[in-house]
């Protein structure tokens, strides 16, 4: 049986529901400009009727309605769309970061300025060409020295600029890690608050919005995924590993790398294992620093080392106007002071490694001559050693090319005296040193008896850098060459890390420009007047195939570098613009669903206001009806 006051109760429920709807619309209007806010709607439904269809119900014409009730307040949100945005946001941030930094790298390699390495290199070759024509003039020698100093300074400046970008990248990595940890902790804290609210049946919409906003921001920093296994456990993953699980955040740490670069690596704070992140700004920053920038610095170092080494090779064998010979034109700082390249790599106080950059055989070879030998040359590669086979019909040039075409980190060429030269290149792995020959072995006799490089063939005669005094494996150094000609292989100690930052003109030459070697030794050991053959040979290096990495000539290096940097910058720009367009479309779609429309909210306020007024009128009428009933009793 319905109550006499049922009408009053019905009106009250209607007043409360419409009041809640008006308050929610006002809340939406107030947060129209709040970042991450999703509009909310009151879910109004019919209140349970007075009678239910069971055996105890009174005989009435039907169920008696009791008005409305505000069941819940729901966010207007599309979870599938949110997932797409989270997955896409890391790509936009990734390409945005690459575009920003590649614009900086492109400025470093700008080839239009008078102070660029390319411009100064051209002037350097021209000065040697001039000296070859006028070897008797001091002015031509002074031009060689001055332009050599300018070139060395521009190379050092380019390295400094690239190194500065690396420092910026490292600082951004550390700052981004701090941001990720902050967002992770805030998400974990919000998870706790949300769980408490949900436990008592509430829907903490504003907390949901705050958590989604943190997830959106986090998705721009790393390639994250989210998962909700049950009601109380919201999870965030990075690289397939848990970053946030419910109210617990793991977080990242930064630790110094082991390669003496001064950079930091990102590790998990609890396990110390390396973090694998491939997207977002953090993924872009790590890739830019450890791959892109490292490669550009390695290429600059490679060009510098080979360029200086080739100039020095000719200059050492030339002779100056003051009859001085045997001088290197450029000088580099050696990695170790030990003249055998011995180094204590593990820091236990005992020399255990040999750092050798170049080794030169003692025998003069004919590049077109067939060797008549068969065997396998083993050299260090990107990951482990690799084998290079040679056959009896191969010429010396064929074997040299086969070594260079392999995936090894040792390159070969014949110097101006047609001696075989092996050089260490930059290492693809950060665990291996740059410009260090790590392994050379020959099962046959090409490197030993024929080229006069190794003292013995086979495994017993292999050169391996993982020991002190490894140079004793070279012909005539630690043991007599099996060629029997008494020749001694030559070698050079590896340079200090990043030789492009230390290259300079020999002070012995800057102090006396007459020491510039323009002439070559005659058969009688004298210098002919007007001889500029050494200067001409140095000038010709410009167009000589010197096997600088994948480039054939020094001019190829500049062309390859500018093309590579320009194309990567263009790729970053195009992909960033594409990602901006995709993200803009997704965000506009989300705004159309979850964003606050002021006009729509005001219309709702008016609608609910009319409903509120009608409910109030109902309460007034019911009150008058009760007054009538009570008045009859009087």
C-alpha to C-alpha distance for 336 and 349, rounded to whole angstroms: 14
Give, as one character, the DSSP assignment of residue 363.
E
Sign of CA dihedral 45, 48, 50, 51: positive
Q: What residues have CB less than 8 Å from 416, skipping those under 6 apart?
A: 313, 314, 317, 537
**Tens-digit pLDDT profile for residues 344-363:** 988 888 999 999 999 999 99
**Tens-digit pLDDT profile for residues 580-621:** 999 999 888 988 888 888 999 899 899 989 999 998 998 898
Section 85-93 average pLDDT: 89
Residue 245, φ and ψ in degrees, nearest 5? -130, 105
Instruction: Render the burial of 496-535: b for 16+ CB within 10 Å, e for the rest.
Output: ebbbbbbbbbbeebeebbebbbbbbbeeeeebeeebbbbb
Give, as one character, the DSSP assignment of residue 252.
E
Torsion of CA 527, 528, 529, 532, to 10 degrees: -80
- Beta strands 318-320 and 490-493 are unpaired
C-alpha to C-alpha distance for 599 and 42, rounded to whole angstroms: 18
Of 298, 286, 289, 249, nearest to 269 (Cα)? 249
| pLDDT for 572 | 93
C-alpha to C-alpha distance for 572 and 104, rounded to whole angstroms: 13
**Tens-digit pLDDT profile for residues 6-49:** 788 888 888 998 999 899 999 989 998 888 898 989 888 888 77
C-alpha to C-alpha distance for 144 and 377, rounded to whole angstroms: 40
Measured at the CA of 69, the angle between CA 68 and CA 73, to 5 degrees, comes to 135
| pLDDT for 485 | 43
C-alpha to C-alpha distance for 205 and 211, rounded to whole angstroms: 10
**Tens-digit pLDDT profile for residues 226-249:** 888 776 789 999 988 999 998 999
**Tens-digit pLDDT profile for residues 364-416:** 999 999 999 999 999 999 888 999 999 999 999 999 999 988 889 999 988 87
Give, as one character, the DSSP assignment of residue 312.
H
Section 314-343 average pLDDT: 89
Distances from the Cα of 46 to the Cαs of 24, 187, 233, 617, in angstroms? 19, 36, 33, 20
Residue predicted with more confidence, 478 or 172: 172
Residue predicted with more confidence, 333 or 215: 215
C-alpha to C-alpha distance for 630 and 634, rounded to whole angstroms: 7
Q: Are 78 and 92 in contact (CB under 8 A)?
A: no
pLDDT at 484 over 60: no
Q: Are 301 and 241 in contact (CB under 8 A)?
A: no
C-alpha to C-alpha distance for 23 and 319, rounded to whole angstroms: 94
Burial of 12 (C-beta count, 10 Å sphere; 0-12/13-18/19+): middle
Structure tokens at 113: 């300025």
Q: What is the DSSP string of 228-246?
A: EEETTEEEEEETTEEEEET
Measured at the CA of 232, the angle between CA 228 and CA 238, to 5 degrees, comes to 40
**Tens-digit pLDDT profile for residues 135-162:** 999 999 999 999 999 999 999 999 999 9
| pLDDT for 59 | 62
Q: Are 251 and 184 in contact (CB under 8 A)?
A: yes
CA–chain centroid gap for 150, Å, is 31
């Amino acid at each position: 049986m319905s109550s006499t006051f049922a009408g009053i109760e019905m009106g009250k429920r209607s007043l409360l529901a419409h009041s809640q709807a008006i308050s929610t619309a006002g809340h939406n209007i107030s947060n129209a400009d709040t970042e991450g806010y999703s509009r909310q709607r009151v879910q109004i439904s019919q209140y349970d009727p007075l009678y239910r269809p069971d055996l105890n119900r009174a005989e009435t014409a039907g169920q008696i309605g009791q008005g409305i009730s505000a069941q819940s307040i729901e966010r207007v949100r599309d979870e599938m769309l949110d997932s797409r945005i989270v997955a896409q946001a890391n790509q936009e941030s990734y390409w945005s970061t690459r575009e920003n930094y590649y614009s900086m790298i492109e400025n470093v390699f700008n080839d239009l300025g008078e102070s660029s390495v390319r411009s100064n290199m051209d002037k350097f070759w021209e000065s040697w060409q001039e000296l070859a024509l006028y070897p008797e003039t001091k002015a031509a020698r002074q031009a060689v020295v001055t332009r050599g100093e300018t070139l060395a300074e521009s190379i050092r400046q380019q390295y400094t600029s690239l190194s500065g970008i690396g420092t910026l990248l490292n600082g951004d990595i550390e700052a981004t890690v701090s941001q990720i940890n902050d967002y992770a902790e805030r998400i974990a804290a919000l998870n706790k608050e949300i769980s408490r609210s949900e436990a008592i049946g509430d829907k903490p919409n504003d907390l949901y919005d705050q958590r989604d906003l943190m997830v959106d921001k986090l998705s721009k920093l790393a390639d994250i995924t989210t998962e909700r296994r049950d009601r109380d456990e919201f999870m965030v993953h990075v690289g397939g590993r848990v970053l946030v699980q419910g109210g617990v955040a793991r977080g990242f740490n930064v630790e110094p790398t082991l390669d003496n670069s001064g950079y930091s690596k990102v590790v998990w704070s609890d396990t110390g294992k390396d973090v694998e992140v491939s997207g977002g700004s953090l993924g872009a920053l790590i890739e830019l620093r450890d791959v892109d920038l490292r490669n550009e610095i390695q290429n600059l170092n490679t060009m510098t080392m080979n360029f200086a080494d080739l100039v020095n090779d000719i200059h050492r064998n030339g002779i100056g106007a003051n009859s001085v010979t045997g001088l290197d034109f450029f000088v580099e700082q050696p990695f170790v002071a030990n003249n055998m390249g011995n180094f204590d790599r593990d820091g236990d106080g005992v020399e255990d490694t040999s750092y050798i950059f170049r080794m030169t055989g003692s025998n003069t070879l004919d590049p077109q001559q067939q060797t008549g030998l068969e065997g396998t040359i083993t050299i260090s590669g990107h990951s482990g050693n690799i084998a290079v086979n040679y056959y009896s019909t191969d010429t010396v040039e064929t074997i040299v090319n086969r070594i260079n075409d392999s995936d090894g980190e040792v390159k070969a060429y014949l110097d101006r005296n047609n001696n075989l030269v092996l050089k260490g290149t930059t290492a693809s792995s950060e665990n291996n040193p740059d410009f260090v020959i790590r392994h050379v072995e020959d099962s046959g006799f090409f490197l030993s008896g024929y080229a006069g490089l190794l003292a013995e063939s086979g495994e017993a005669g292999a050169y391996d850098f993982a020991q002190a005094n490894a140079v004793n494996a070279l012909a005539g150094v630690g043991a007599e060459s099996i060629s029997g000609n008494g020749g001694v292989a030559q070698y050079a100690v590896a340079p200090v890390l990043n030789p492009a930052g230390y290259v300079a003109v020999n002070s012995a030459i800057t102090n006396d420009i007459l020491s510039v070697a323009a002439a070559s030794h005659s058969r009688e050991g004298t210098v002919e007047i007007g001889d500029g053959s050494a200067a001409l040979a140095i000038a010709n290096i410009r167009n000589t195939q010197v096997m600088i990495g994948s480039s054939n000539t020094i001019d190829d290096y500049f062309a390859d570098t500018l093309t590579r940097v320009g194309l990567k910058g263009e790729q970053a720009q195009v992909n960033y613009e594409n990602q901006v367009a995709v993200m803009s479309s997704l965000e506009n779609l989300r705004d159309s669903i979850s964003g606050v429309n002021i006009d729509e909210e005001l219309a709702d306020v008016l609608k609910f206001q009319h409903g509120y007024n009608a409910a109030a009128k109902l309460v007034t009428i019911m009150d008058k009806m009760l007054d009538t009933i009570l008045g009859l009793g009087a």
